[in-house]
Amino acid sequence: MVLADIIKRWQVLKGRNSILLTGTDEHGMKVQRAAAKAGIDPKPFCDKGAEIFKELARKAEISNDHFIRTTDREHKDAVEYAWFLLQEKGLIYEEKHEGWYSVTDEAFYTQSAVQPYLDPPTGRKMMTSIETGSEVEWSSETNYHFRLSAFREKLLEFYKANPTWVVPEHRMKEVVQSVEAGLEDLSISRPYDRLTWGIRVPGDETQTIYVWLDALVNYITKAGYPWTPGLDTAGGWPADCQVIGKDIVRFHCIYWPAFLMALGLPLPKQIFSHAHWTLGGSKMSKSTGRVVDPFHAIDRFGSDVMRFYMGHEGGVQDDSSYDNIRIIQLYNKFLNHQLGNLASRVMRNKKWSVQGAVQRVGGRSAEEWEEGPGANFWNNSLSKIASKLDSSFELHDPRKAVFQLADFVRGANDFFQMSAPWQKTLSFGPREPGEEVDKIIYEAAEALRLIGILLQPWMPNKANLLLDQLGVRHDRRTFDWCKPGADLEYGEPMIELGVGYSGVLFPPLPSEE
């Protein structure tokens, strides 16, 4: 959710209409069994879970426009309509199906995709999926199938024409290799006497629609499917980017495009798949207690700090290990010592005035400035940082973008330290330190202004606090204003800067005081 929200906020920063959908997939055997274990019916069980995720999204400052539940009536209608169309096109048939089934993954696996496993804590022998490690059980039943095999060539043609459709690159290669190896038709229903928690197959009350066909349709449900003629793009489909975990690549990058092709609908423009968070290098698991409470983490560090940590440290290529010590280090060494310290040094010193510097030297062109740290920083960093981040987002790489922004913050500190304005202030004229100091303060203030604007997707509250401290108007906090010299009317703080830790952007953490 955080990754998707960062991408969404960046597009809004660029002035684009951007819609973010998140929600909960609520049907299937896994939920049915979990509800039974909890001793309550599936619907109230899911109601509780959905509320937890809604509250988590709110606390994490997720700016989602929609929150879908696959138990919503409109979603049920969309799934039934999609089923009807697939059936009308002759793409669904009924047949006996046997295979290894994982309740955890809600997926069938072939004999070659499973292996024996001895559970160390219990000594119990079981069969597990080689891909996910989830336990599987033998299943033999009659159900409906989707002619997935008929879409092998179409999928391969699409992948060839869109080689960067899945990012990162190695997951795109895995998808292509999987389809090249051959596709079997997909079982898309379960007997109702075994799976009651789901959407019934239209016209056959003895069968329940397979959870992944049901769940994947959610993306088009909230985009208004089935569409009124002429309004097929009004709800935002096709999606520019779908953000998924690496464990569900097969469903989103093979099954989903095949379903869309079968329905005659456009495919999403890109699938951005991220790696997982581990704890101490091991997979998080409720059963072993190796988990992190996100509510507690947000209460402890604040939503902005947690968003920045997850955006900065979260793995895309490879898994990342969650670590509270690393959060504290990132806060102390970067947010407090680099960004917070620069903001305090520039804005709270009584020898100069940010507003005065902007007014006195802000309108000049960079060419007037002498060679040295100021000219180098202006030309090589200040003038290029916005386009650098934009290029990274165009490649759907928000982690690269936040690293570039962090490097820019460090570069701004280096420039300020090398320029040493405190050594060059003139002794006469209150808060009029001389042209040389004005130039340094103006350039440092411009760096802070750009940092404040560009940081908003990761830290919406802290970024706006920084811009309030600088006195940047609210209608000048978009990407269009991310050019050095674009805004010459800031410098008067909108809030009290205070003394001591009062008004400080990143005060020391409570445990560090």
Q: What is the mean pLDDT of residues 426-438?
A: 82
Q: pTM score, two decimals?
A: 0.90
What is the reported pLDDT for 54?
A: 98
Spatial distance between the Cα atoms of 434 and 427, rounded to a whole number of angstroms: 9
Taking each helix axis as running N to C, give the angle between helix 435-454 and helix 460-470, from 0 to 180 degrees, rounded to the nearest 10.
150
Q: Distance between CA 300 and CA 309 in Å, rounded?
A: 13
**Helices then strands, each counted (H, E), the chain:** 20, 17
- Crossing angle, helix 435-454 and helix 354-361, to 10 degrees? 110
The region of weakest confidence among 202-206, 472-476, 496-500 is: 496-500
Helix (H, G, I), strand (E, B) or coil at 504: coil
400: tokens are 């690269």
Q: Any long-range contacts for 332-340 (C-beta under 8 Å, 24+ apart)?
A: 332/508, 332/509, 332/512, 334/406, 334/409, 335/305, 335/308, 335/506, 336/506, 336/507, 336/508, 338/406, 338/409, 338/410, 338/413, 339/409, 339/451, 339/505, 339/506, 340/504, 340/505, 340/506, 340/507
Share of the chain above pLDDT 70, in %: 96
Q: Which residue has the tokens 């093979």?
A: 254
Of 389, 458, 443, nearest in space to 413 by CA: 443
In which band, very low, low, confident or very high, does the pLDDT at 499 lie, cut at 50, 70 and 90? low
What average pLDDT score do residues 323-331 get?
96
Q: Quick one: pLDDT at residue 231?
A: 85
How far apart are alpha carbons 505 and 334 in whole angstroms? 12
Asked whether the beta carbons of 108 and 139 are under 8 A apart, the reply is yes
Q: Which residues pair with 144 in a beta bridge?
A: 94
What is residue 236's predicted lDDT score, i.e. its pLDDT?
A: 93
Span 268-287, average pLDDT: 89
HEC profile for 188-246?
Answer: CEEECCCCCCCCEECCEEEEEECHHHHHHCHHHHCCCCCCCCCCCCCCCCCCCCEEEEH
pLDDT class of 118 with cuts at 50, 70, 90: confident
Question: Is residue 100 within 8 Å of 111, Cβ to Cβ?
Answer: yes
Q: Which residue has better confidence, 101 or 83?
A: 83
**21 by DSSP, 3-state: which?**
strand
366-421 pLDDT, tens per residue?
666 667 788 889 999 999 999 999 999 999 899 999 999 999 999 999 999 999 99
Mean pLDDT of the chain: 93
> Judging by DSSP bridges, how do beta strands 277-279 and 242-245 pair with one another?
unpaired
**Whether the Cβ atoms of residue 207 and residue 190 lie closer than 8 Å to each other:** yes
Q: What angle do CA 215, 303, 484 make, to 5 degrees?
A: 105
In one letter, which amino acid is 344?
S
Round to whole Å and give the CA distance between 173 and 510: 47
List C-alpha distances in Å: 14 to 229, 393, 450, 453, 463. 30, 11, 14, 11, 16
Predicted local distance difference test score (pLDDT) of residue 212: 87
d(CA 477, CA 29): 47
Q: What is the 3-state secondary structure (H, E, C) of 87-137?
A: HHCCCEEEEEEEEEEECCCCEEECHHHEEEEECCCCCCEEEEECCCCCEEE
Domain 323-512: CATH class, spelled out: mainly alpha
Name the pLDDT band for 432 (thresholds 50, 70, 90). confident
Residues sharing a CB contact under 8 Å with residue 354, sequence separation 6 or more, in sequence order? 346, 347, 441, 442, 445, 470, 471, 490, 491
**What does the pLDDT read at residue 140?**
80
Give the 3-state secondary structure of residue 145: strand
pLDDT score at 512? 45
Asked if pLDDT for residue 114 goes beyond 50, the answer is: yes
Q: Can you give the pLDDT at residue 102?
A: 87
List, for residues 139-151, the tens digit of each pLDDT value.
888 899 999 999 9
Output the 3-class SS for 310-369.
HHHHCCCCCCEEECHHHHHHHHHHHHHHHHHHHHHHHHCCCCCCHHHHHHHHCCCCHHHC
Domain boundaries, the chain: 323-512
Helix axes 303-313, 294-301, angle to 10 degrees: 110
* Average pLDDT of span 20-28: 95
28-62 confidence digits (pLDDT tens)? 988 999 999 999 999 999 999 999 999 999 999 99
What is the amino acid identity at position 247?
D
Nearest CA-CA partner of 282 in 317, 327, 322, 328: 322
- Compute how many other C-beta atoms are within 10 angstroms of the C-beta atom of residue 17: 7
pLDDT of residue 289: 80
pLDDT in tens, 447-465: 999 999 999 999 999 999 9
Instruction: Band the pLDDT of 513: cuts 50, 70, 90.
Output: very low
Instruction: Report the C-alpha gap between 5 and 22 in whole angstroms.
Output: 10
Question: Are the C-beta atoms of residues 469 and 489 closer than 8 Å to each other?
Answer: no
* Contact (Cβ atoms closer than 8 angstroms) between residue 66 and residue 21: yes
* CA nearest to 263, candidates 232, 285, 241: 232
Structure tokens at 381: 């960093």
| 474-480-484 Cα angle (round to 5) | 95
429 has a pLDDT exceeding 70: no
Question: For residue 502, what are its two tokens?
Answer: 């009062």
